[in-house]
Amino acid sequence: MSNEESKQPAAPPAASAAKPAAKPATASVAKDVKVKEMPRRSFLNWMTLAWTAFTASMLAAGTATARFMFPNVLFEPPSTFKAGFPNEIQIGQVDERFKPRGVWLVRDSEGIFALSTVCTHLGCTPNWLEGEQKFKCPCHGSGYYKDGINFEGPTPRPLERFAISLADDGQILVDKGKKFQFEKGEWINPQSKLNL
Ligand code: FES
């Protein structure tokens, strides 16, 4: 080999021995996008959950506030009501027109009284049995005479009476806000009976 030949630059390596070609740029970008998208999706999910929780808590707080501002109130019918004219009830009659309001009007030879329809045993509603001339409780069998005095069954005391009077227009006025109990001697109170 001559000196000139030895000074020639080395030939470039063959194509087969070249370094592996770099991967296409598009694949690399797609991978990057995937890597970046995952956290964004998680973030959105987290935001959705946070908003849902926030909305739920606001609704709960609003409901609690509304309950505080407008508490449950039981609107009961007024305790005093007019119950027709005295001559609409015959002597010896038990008037059941006002049973839905918790009152029987009973007329005897002296006047009219308003009996409570609540059994004094455990609070059921007795029935008036015209044929037997008695009030009979369907729950445990307590029985009361027409005047409200108990005579059978487990009840320990008579029915109660409500205050009764005449209104300005001549109608019977019943006041369920005032009760009179026989066993306390309260039936002698003039308000417990409307004498006619
Ligand atoms: S509730 Fe009337 S007899 Fe018991």
- Max intra-chain CA distance, the chain: 159
Compute φ and ψ for 116, nearest 5 degrees: -75, 140
pLDDT less than 50: residues of the chain: 1-21
Closest listed residue to residue 98, CA positions, set 113, 111, 108 = 113
pLDDT confidence of residue 12: 47
- pLDDT reported for residue 1: 44
Instruction: Report the pLDDT value the prediction gives residue 175, as an integer from 0 to 100.
Output: 98
- Position 126 scores a pLDDT of 98
pLDDT digits (tens, 9 = 90+) for 91-120: 999 999 999 999 999 999 999 999 999 999
Token look-up 């509603």 returns 125
Q: What is the pLDDT of residue 37?
A: 58
Report the SS3 class of residue 195.
strand
Q: CA-CA distance, 172 to 15, in Å (whole number)? A: 121
Determine if ligand 1 sits within 6 Å of the CB of residue 143.
Answer: no
CA 98 to ligand 1 centroid distance, Å: 21
Q: Any idea which residue has 């008036």 for tokens?
A: 128
Ligand 1 pocket mutation pick from 150, 152, 155 by most atoms within 8 angstroms of CB = 155
| 96 Cα–ligand 1 center, Å | 19
Residue type, 111: G
Q: What is the pLDDT of residues 32-43, one digit of tens each?
A: 555 555 577 777
Query: How close is the Cα of 136 to the center of ligand 1, in Å?
Result: 9
